[in-house]
Amino acid sequence: MAQRKIKIKINGVETVCEKGDSILTAAQRVGVPIPTLCHDDRLEPYGGCRLCSVEVKHIHRLLPACTTPVKPGMEVITESATITRIRKRLVSLMLSNHPNDCMHCEKAGECRLQDLAYEFGVDGSEYGGERWDLPIREANPFITYEPNKCVTCGRCIRICSEVVMAGTIDWVGKGFYTLPDTAFRRPRSLSNCEFCGQCVSTCPTGALTDKKGRGKGRVNEMQRVRTTCGYCGTGCTLYLNVKGGTVVKVTSAFDGPVNQGNLCIKGRYGYDFIHSAERIRAPLIRKGDGFHEATWDEALDLVAKNFRKVIKKHGNKSVGAFSSSRCTNEENFLLAKFVRTVFRSNNVDNCARV
């Protein structure tokens, strides 16, 4: 293990990093900020935006920190007049073909390009020329695509191919009008898209946003509640974005131990049941031809009474339990233990078995 350690210098400070680390990874471990736009820790390094460019001693050009591996004795400079000038120029070029509509953009307050423009003090007025004037795409129930806000970082394409492995989107068009899109620019549907929202989770600007949450609040107005998805037994971590006591959207928890920010269509968009008027909020007991609300004590007493009646008449093997993968392992264990110790039966099953 000792042979895997490498010593380099970042801004004159000696740093120990792992063999195979990139300069960006090494800098992140010691808390040295390097701006990026095309980088996502879930994806392979890309080196497309060049905002992470740094100086390396004895190399007479800037190198992208995200794709440059560390080497023993390497001396890296992450901030200098030259680096700042290049980064400022890159952001200015991006803004030259970007709508200046931050006042009503869905991503305002959490847009990486907006943050970089503020950091480097640029507004896109430095360069003139042609701008995209493409229509907003909303031909599906979950994802809104505003191509004019795309910075062609490729993150949506890469996460769809590398993580989801669906290949729904790729580079379409030529030259100035090259953009990420579906094949033949067809609307997203269940035949060509899984609607997992991974592309939305990685997009650094307002090009891809959750349609269900549009217009329902700014990021600073929402309380993020960390929780576990209840749709299956995987245990994905997510954030419920709550405004005024109402869940308006679901976003990724990138430090989730199971999913690292990745979610499926159910976890990201299947939250309507939370505030559904048809949601059952109390135990129901059948009386006559209908169901009537009851207390938990009344409902559990009735269940226990009927179980005793069935066991007395037909024996222990006549009852059992069917558990759910939506429950935790601990809950399923308790159910199995309950059946075996109270019912004296081994009739326990789970939906995951089939």
Q: What is the pLDDT of residues 195-212, one digit of tens each?
A: 999 999 999 999 999 999
pLDDT grade for 328, boundaries at 50, 70 and 90? confident
Asked if the structure places residue 137 within a domain, the reply is no
Half-sphere exposure of 270 (CA within 13 A, CB side): 11
Tens of pLDDT, residue by residue over 298-320, are: 999 999 999 999 999 999 999 99
The answer to the question of residue 174 being in a domain is: no
Do 74 and 11 belong together in one domain? yes
- Answer yes or no: is pLDDT of 354 > 60: no
Domain end position, chosen among 237, 258, 279: 279
Q: Residue 73: count other Cβ atoms within 10 Å of its Cβ.
A: 11
140-189 pLDDT tens trace: 999 999 999 999 999 999 999 999 999 999 999 999 999 999 999 999 99
Q: Is the pTM of this model over 0.75?
A: yes
pLDDT the model gives residue 3: 59
| Residue scoring higher pLDDT (220 or 125) | 220
Give the chain's mean pLDDT. Answer: 93
* Residue 107 backbone phi and psi in degrees, to 5: -95, 0
Q: Is residue 208 part of a domain?
A: no
* The one-letter amino acid at 285: I
**pLDDT at position 126 over 90:** no
| Amino acid occupying residue 120 | F
Side chain identity, residue 147: P
Among candidate residues 228, 244, 279, the one where a domain is terminated: 279
Domain count of the chain? 3
Q: pLDDT band for position 230 (50/70/90)?
A: confident
With 90 as the cut, is the pLDDT of residue 33 above it?
yes
Rounded CA gap, 284 and 301, in Å? 13
Q: Is the pLDDT of residue 68 over 60?
A: yes
For 177, phi then psi, to 5°, come to: -100, 25
pLDDT at 293 over 80: yes
What residues make up the domain containing 338? 284-353
Q: Are residues 28 and 45 in the same domain?
A: yes
The reply to whether 74 and 17 lie within a common domain is: yes
Q: Which CATH number goes with the domain that contains 51?
A: 3.10.20.740
pLDDT at 97: 93
Whether 52 and 10 share a structural domain: yes
Residue 232's pLDDT band (cuts 50, 70, 90): confident
